[in-house]
Structure 1
């Protein structure tokens, strides 16, 4: 039987760990210092409590780190200090650079590290998040089999540590920011009594802007006038006492495309202009 340890079993962590039980794994967790809500959640998902982190590390073949991103390195350090030599899956929303540090920390402790990213809601009968994985091939096979037949659907990425984290933040940078921007846009519309009209316009769309990559060069070519428009939007937001940060940031991004007025460039060239130092970016 594979023994899995879950660190910080929040809604996502507990849900993902519970799915590993479907393949026959035993899932351990450490209740020390955890809230009553966390303890209830662990009980609900059938997780087995241990006395302390040492007991969890000594017993586990696989450790899942699914916690707030600010704690990812500290958690890895705590586990490494106990010389964990099993498979360490970091499933946190962290940058590739942070993931590289987590990899170095956990590897020094003796672990084999897998970079993971979870896209979607906590698993349930109706929700099936994707678990993207990158890292050593043999470790990826082990993680994939751990979730075989569960509501968590593994997807293996080539290219090693950092790829899964990059995918997560590529998606989150759009998904999370667009949610916030929608709230700010709606707040401005409400202030002027045009929220119904705004929703009518939005509901006329059936696709996500994120899926329309072919439109990116058009945005770049029009940024010479869209940028000032966003500056005006920022002014309107400030006048209404609303946050203007995202609109200002959007104008700042468009300024990097300022010299591409009506340019016929393709996607690769347009994206190149977004980098502050083209020689430094991973591509």
Structure 2
């Protein structure tokens, strides 16, 4: 099989790292530099991605396009791609609910073949090995598996039904991210009463609990701007399934108290708890 040309939309911290893994089995990995920030440009350069000036050029040259962007932008981005009548494989890898994924698949049909994707795990750098779950037409998922063969991204096919990968991604996020928010609230309440160290000591006896990792609260705060929209998508998926979404919507409003801590790598546990208690 010839090596495909791949386009990545848009190279954030996850997208750029995933695209970098694709370079191992691709002729080239392109990204569109128009309107992107200096941080995106630096990230793309660090991962040896090839810049092109316009989305139309990226789509004309690409056999496979991977969409990894903030959830709110997923459908607008797909509309832009559909307007160019892209006819390759489109991997919808954003953290969006299955109904939106299916809408995007319908939007891009019949010109493009849409594969539903969901990344579970941290960006594939520094020894991290996330799994890219896939669902969609078999011939297309085989191509995406081949694209990531032998790389730090582990591809796993869930079947031919578009929506399955999105559902798995959001089901995991609903537990994992909401659990981290609950840790912050528990430690914050304990700190208010001067028993936070005792709480942490109690939790340390249960090493299978997120509560035994209170230092992760600062990382949660720094990622809140990304996690909030993802949990909003998960809440919508719960509602569509007839399940109560209120717990996840409460987690979203809690995360919103940290929106000004975006990607702050210097944040401490106490800083994060202070912002949570005094927004």
Q: TM-score range by the shorter chain?
A: 0.7 to 0.9
Unaligned 5+ segments in structure 2 are 211-245, 252-279
Aligned residue number for residue 23 of structure 1 = 25
Moved more, 94-103 or 199-208: 199-208
8 A Cα contact 1:96 1:166, kept in partner: yes
The C-alpha deviation readout for 1:33-74, integer Å capped at 9, x for no partner, is 000000000011001111100000000000000000111111
8 A Cα contact 1:88 1:113, kept in partner: yes
Aligned residue number for residue 114 of structure 2 = 113
Q: Once the 2 structures are TM-superposed, how far is the Cα of residue 106 of structure 1 from its aligned partner?
A: 1.5
Q: Once the 2 structures are TM-superposed, how far is the Cα of residue 208 of structure 1 from its aligned partner?
A: 5.0
Q: Look up the SS of the partner of 1:14 in the other structure.
A: helix
What number of residue pairs does the alignment pair up? 214
Q: How far apart in 1 are the matches of 2:140 and 2:21?
A: 18
The C-alpha deviation readout for 1:15-42, integer Å capped at 9, x for no partner, is 0011011124310011000000000000
Aligned residue number for residue 256 of structure 2 = none
Aligned residue number for residue 204 of structure 1 = 205
Aligned residue number for residue 276 of structure 2 = none
Q: Once the 2 structures are TM-superposed, how far is the Cα of residue 159 of structure 1 from its aligned partner?
A: 4.7
Return closer, same or farther for 1:186/1:135 CA change in 2, 3 Å cut-off. same
Unaligned 5+ segments in structure 1 are 210-244, 251-283
Q: How far apart in 1 are the matches of 2:248 and 2:60?
A: 50
Residue 96 (structure 1) aligned with residue 105 (structure 2):
no
Aligned pairs for 1:244-259 within 5 A: none
Aligned residue number for residue 58 of structure 2 = 56
- Which contiguous aligned blocks of 4+ residues in structure 1 show a shift greater than 2 angstroms? 206-209, 245-250
Residue 124 (structure 1) aligned with residue 88 (structure 2):
no
- Alpha-carbon RMSD across the aligned residues, in angstroms, is 1.9
Return closer, same or farther for 1:159/1:61 CA change in 2, 3 Å cut-off. closer
Aligned residue number for residue 278 of structure 1 = none
Q: How far apart in 1 are the matches of 2:248 and 2:97?
A: 24
Structure of greater Rg: 1
Aligned pairs for 1:190-229 within 5 A: 190-207=191-208
Q: Once the 2 structures are TM-superposed, how far is the Cα of residue 246 of structure 1 from its aligned partner?
A: 5.2
Q: Once the 2 structures are TM-superposed, how far is the Cα of residue 124 of structure 1 from its aligned partner?
A: 1.6
Residue 158 (structure 1) aligned with residue 144 (structure 2):
no
Aligned residue number for residue 143 of structure 2 = 142
**TM-score normalised per structure 2:** 0.73
Aligned residue number for residue 182 of structure 1 = 183
8 A Cα contact 1:125 1:151, kept in partner: no
**TM-score normalised per structure 1:** 0.72
